[in-house]
Amino acid sequence: MALLQGPEAIAGRLARAAANARAAMLPILDVALPPLCPACRDVHAQPGGVCAGCWSKLSFISPPYCERLGVPFVYDPGPGILSMEAIANPPAYGRARAAVRYDDVARALVHAFKFSDRLDLAPMIGGWMLRAGRQLLAEAAAVVPVPLHWRRLWARRFNQSATLAGVIAEASGLPLLPDALQRTRATPHQVGLSRSERATNVQGAFRVSPDGKPHIHGKRLVLVDDVLTSGATVDHCSRALLRAGATNVDVLVFARVVDAARAPI
Ligand SMILES: [Zn+2]
């Protein structure tokens, strides 16, 4: 008779029943937990988005800006004008573009994305970057993320720049070259370092992998990172890519520091 069952069969049935109950509960739990704004932890946000208050506090960067560095101008000096900074200290990369200024909301979003595993933010952040980098992407042949050192990648489980680069590559129909650039040593965090210390910190820390070389040779590339502070990291990555034969490297980031003291003109 079916009623005569051993303890193993009963345990198996109980386990299946528990699994079914958990599966049935999941949609209820999804509805019961309202999405939180990743920047302010308020409950009014759409899933994968920010609340209206945080949205209004984000400073999206739009023209007029320095054609080279993408740093916003206070007034419009006319098309193609470069900032004093770009003339005095030209970077290795061609042009840099950022979606937003690195202010409080942008910082909170980057932290949630990077350190709290909020990978669901990637489409929103990547979408803003796509808009900011439309021209660079239209002229590029491939997208390259700023690499993490393997030890940091292991600790954090994902490379935030590679995740954003993936969203951008897919949406723009460009190939993604996630392993073209390598970080040859784990550089200390840039936080709290001066501009010259940052440059020294990342010097010689990047190289193009032997396998990556044929993919970047003769190509125009867009290098993707989450935040641009002094520009030392993207500058050294660009040097490594250009040394390996890339014809041009443009830089696309989510947020950049806009220092009032460095405001052009
Ligand atoms: Zn918010």
At residue 24, the pLDDT reads: 53
**Ligand 1 midpoint to CA 257 (Å):** 21
What residues contact 182, with CB distance under 8 A and at least 6 apart? 147, 206, 207, 208, 209, 212
Instruction: Name the residue with higher pLDDT: 130 or 81.
Output: 130
**Ligand 1 midpoint to CA 121 (Å):** 13
Residue 57 — very low, low, confident or very high, per pLDDT cuts 50/70/90?
Answer: very high
Task: Check residue 40 and report its DSSP letter.
Answer: T
Give the model confidence (pLDDT) of 147-185 as tens digits: 987 777 777 778 999 999 999 999 999 999 999 999 887
**Ligand 1 midpoint to CA 156 (Å):** 25
Q: What is the average pLDDT value for the chain, to the nearest integer?
A: 85
At residue 222, the 3 state secondary structure works out as: strand
Q: What pTM was computed for the model? A: 0.82
Cβ atoms of 172 and 249 closer than 8 Å: no
**Ligand 1 midpoint to CA 113 (Å):** 14
**Ligand 1 midpoint to CA 102 (Å):** 16
**Ligand 1 midpoint to CA 118 (Å):** 15
At residue 6, the pLDDT reads: 53
**Ligand 1 midpoint to CA 52 (Å):** 7
**Ligand 1 midpoint to CA 192 (Å):** 27
Give the model confidence (pLDDT) of 213-225 as tens digits: 999 999 999 999 9
Rounded Cα distance, 209 and 204, in Å: 14
Is residue 80 packed enough to be buried (19+ CB in 10 Å), middle (13-18) or exposed (0-12)? exposed
Residue 241, pLDDT above cutoff 90? yes
